[in-house]
Amino acid sequence: MLDAYLIDAVRTPVGRRGGGLASVHPADLAAHVITAVLERTGVDPAGVDDVVLGCVDTLGPQAGDIARTAWLAAGLPEEVPGVTVDRQCGSSQQALHFAAQAVASGTADLVVAGGVQNMSAVPIGAAMTVGEQFGFRTPFTGSVGWEKRYGGEEISQFRAAELIAHRWDLSRLDMEAYALRSHHRALAAIDGGAFDGEIVPFGECAVDEGPRRDTSAARMARLTPLTEGGRVTAATASQISDGASAVLVASGRAVREHGLTPRARVHHLSARGADPVLMLTAPIPATAHALDRAGLRIDDIDLFEINEAFASVVLAWLAETGADPERVNVNGGAIALGHPLGATGTKLCATLLNALERRSGRYGLQVMCEGGGQANVTILERL
């Protein structure tokens, strides 16, 4: 049993590209959620042992170890360090894992974990494309070992989403129906106050900006595929977004000494890899591995959060795991709500935690596909 407890979890609303959070410095976005989680829990900031934040494309305002910058931008004690993690889309879920491992090992007692991404300010893939000026067309260009193993295979999330759709025989209609359900669920969650306990408004931005009330199957059908002759369109892909999220992780000792009330325990954490060309299929073996290690069956899980990078990812995962679709992404997902890369992991954690409480569930499983053909899995036990 892991001695790692979630005390609280918060997030900003998710802003659309060019929306309400676009002009906010990423350090200030992250500082906002860090401050909020500390204020909500009443923890003395000087008692925090470390700050671990996820972030992808660490260029410009996201460079220079943004975990450290954000803590200092929040006006918090200089003696507390910070470190930035990049496991692509799963970066802040990995930050949560590192935090839980630190407190479970006894090397830390209080750790703030989270993530931040301003995709309006720093475009997706910027850290890769900037290499072109130095002669590297892709991150793999010039690697003898990589090219010997994978040749000149195109490594692209868009290609991967198409490959998955074909391998699992998922039609465009299948994926659009799933995407439409994501919007409907997200809008129902917003209207029903499901996110009120996790969102900390930033200025006038108080509600997730991604879900579209006017979307429809007919509108989706008119979109051009992302690749010529393909099945995947922008409607069945996650949205480019801005946002930040944070959780406070504590050891049992810290819970006792600080008089904290945990909301959940980290029951299991793991990460697995799969084919980096298919890239987005790793949640399938990672889920099986996690359940086996945790001694649980798929039916033991009350709620699931699987990141909606693309509809094909979730539909293939559902087909292989046999999970009940009515327990999966019950409040919508990234297709509707957005995917601020480095922040999404702990954003989903906050949503899962609140959903478990609202539905009186015990176990929640969170999994994300990631660049390089990887996936993180976290199983929470509500307390």
Active site residues per annotation: 89, 339, 369
| DSSP helix/strand/coil, 219 | helix
CB 9, CB 43: distance < 8 Å: no
CB 110, CB 103: distance < 8 Å: yes
Count the residues in the chain: 383
List, in sequence order, every beta strand (DSSP E) within 219-295: 241-250, 264-273
CA angle 1, 93, 126 (to 5 degrees): 160
Closest CA to 50 of 121, 125, 100, 118: 100
| DSSP helix/strand/coil, 4 | coil
Distance, first Cα to last Cα, the chain: 14
Beta bridge pairs of residue 118: 242
Closest CA to 346 of 7, 107, 49: 7
